[in-house]
Amino acid sequence: MKKATLVRCVFIFGLIVVLAAMLAPSVQAAPLKTVENLQAAFNGESNANARYLAFAKKADEEGYGPVASLFRAAAKAEEIHAATHAAAIKQLGAEPKADVKAPVAKSTKENLEEALKGETYERDTMYPEFIKQAKADKNKKAIEAFSEAKVAEGSHAKLYDEAIKNLASWKGPRKDFNLCSVCGYIVVAIDFKKCPNCMAPVQKYVKVG
């Protein structure tokens, strides 16, 4: 090869390397929408945890012991969801971020209604949309995290609804609820061997009162 040709080749190769380096940031895959959704879910669950603990305190003050217990069990469930979402966020190379606002507790009846509204939105709107997107992004961990949270929120909504409809009977001392420590599903009584949501063995259930 002639010297001039060699110089030209080295120059062109160098140019390609420089151009590739310049273009690299723009050709990197855009962050998955699912990461954004996981962050939104992590933020929502973290705030729900704080809110339910404040609602539990209020329910105790108003003499609704079983409602306070339910809020404590649900607060624990939301903490479990937040941890699951955080793990999925980290797996995708991001850092979980939440902006936990100071919760405002109203009357227990109003708190139950607010909680039911939140759970219903997550069960019927938010998580179904996030699951759809996670499937499009082919992220198995996010699909699982969103799916398990969705069904668990359904179990919370069901119990909040029961309390709202028959609030007078939810006065009195605290009572135990059974919480799946894996997925946050809550039941009054255990009549199964495996969690109906995540299929974990029943031994994974803990009592929260």
Task: State the nearest-atom distance from the C-beta of 178 to Fe ion, in Å.
Answer: 10
In 64-171, which ranges are continuous DSSP H helix? 65-91, 108-121, 127-136, 140-165
113 alpha carbon, distance to own chain's centre: 20
Residues between 115 and 134 that touch Fe ion (CB under 5 A): 119
| CB 19, CB 124: distance < 8 Å | no
Residues between 60 and 119 that touch Fe ion (CB under 5 A): 119
- Phi first, then psi, for residue 154 (nearest 5°) are -60, -40
Encoded tokens for 147: 């799916």
Binding flag, residue 197, Fe ion (CB under 5 A): yes
Q: Which of 68, 112, 159, 182 binds Fe ion (CB under 5 A)?
A: 182
- Comparison of 47 and 197: residue with beta carbon closer to Fe ion: 197
Binding mask 136-155 toward Fe ion (x if CB under 5 A, else -) reads -----------------x--
Strand pairing partners for 194? 201
Contact residues toward Fe ion (CB under 5 A) are: 119, 153, 156, 180, 182-183, 185, 195, 197-198, 200
